[in-house]
Structure 1
Amino acid sequence: MWSKVRDFLFEKAGEPEPDRNKHTLDELHIAAAALMVEAAMLDGNFDEQEKSAIVHVCKRHFNIDCDTARKLVEEAQKQQKDAVDIHNFISKFAPHFDHAERLKIMEMMWEVVYADGELHSYEANLMRRVCGLLGVKDQENGDLRKQVLARIEAGNNSLQTASV
């Protein structure tokens, strides 16, 4: 899997271009994890809570085990450090993902952005930019945000009820 990550992110010069109308599941995982790491790091504090949130989101949405999710997040962190901007990264994969996959990436990013309980202005800006770059409508993005907030609120209410 990690060789696929490397090859996807750093295409080797001179090699024939693979069929770019298709993508692998690994490419979706890589793209989503890297964008989630970017979102988590924007407020200047990438703590264990946010890292755990990304691992949890990857496990749940990709149906992978904890070790694989942790390795995916570690690799995404490395790639994020080397990235110049998100536009180049997104433009590499976005045209080859269908609309449902793009919505799933946005939903996952909202989960990570709200992992620390608040939306920082830099995170909000990133979400607007990614939304535009992925071709997701503002209304759809807003609906995803509300769904994530409702799930978080429902989870917090159930935790409060259980502790009483």
Structure 2
Amino acid sequence: MFTKLNQFFSQLAADSQPKQNEVSLEIACAVLLCEVMRADSAFTESEQNKVAQLLIKQFSLTEHEVDEILQQAVKLSENASDFYQFTSQVNQHYTLEQRIEIVSLLWQVAYADGELASIEEHIIRKIADLLHLRHSEYIATKISAQSHYERK
């Protein structure tokens, strides 16, 4: 009986410790960007450069920091079963306007290779839903990205 009580209290203490598998906000955003980049199974240099550029700008990071974050993000992206652990980090720390900006960044990655694959659009829609964006906000970010791409 004492063994079970000790196990119970040990489990409570372990549960109250910060989780080691919690990812930083930068890595969570990087994973979401990588998910869009990886969606069509064509990792173009233009998409990879766009993701790095967006991370540098969004988080004021150095190229070295971005390289480290992207290495972790790609691994997490390859092994992730869903987007929830990443979008929950974003939801917890970002305002609605900042979440809309993240979706805008996702569109920029999708258009970086010059074409929008339907799977990229599908993934962005799923992420936008998990970020609690209204459909009108999702569409506005898409239209903005399209018009930016068409002007180039």
Structure of greater Rg: 2
Gaps of 5+ in 1: 1-12, 19-25, 157-164
Render the CA deviation track for 1:25-52: whole Å, top value 9, x for unaligned.
x833222110010111110112322111
- Give the one of 92, 97, 120 matched to 1:100: 97
**1:49 aligned partner:** 46
Cα distance in structure 2, aligned partners of 1:15 and 1:76: 25
Aligned length: 136
Give the structure-1-normalised TM-score.
0.73
Give the structure-2-normalised TM-score.
0.78
8 Å CA contact retained: 2:44, 2:113: no
**1:69 aligned partner:** 66
Bigger RCO (CA 8 Å, 6+ sep): 2
Gaps of 5+ in 2: 1-12
Superposition CA RMSD, Å: 2.2
Cα distance in structure 1, aligned partners of 2:17 and 2:93: 14
Name the amino acid aligned to 1:29.
E
SS at 2:24 equivalent? helix
Name the amino acid aligned to 1:144.
T
Please identify runs of 4+ aligned residues in structure 1 that moved more than 3 A: none
Residue identity (%): 27
8 Å CA contact retained: 1:32, 1:108: no
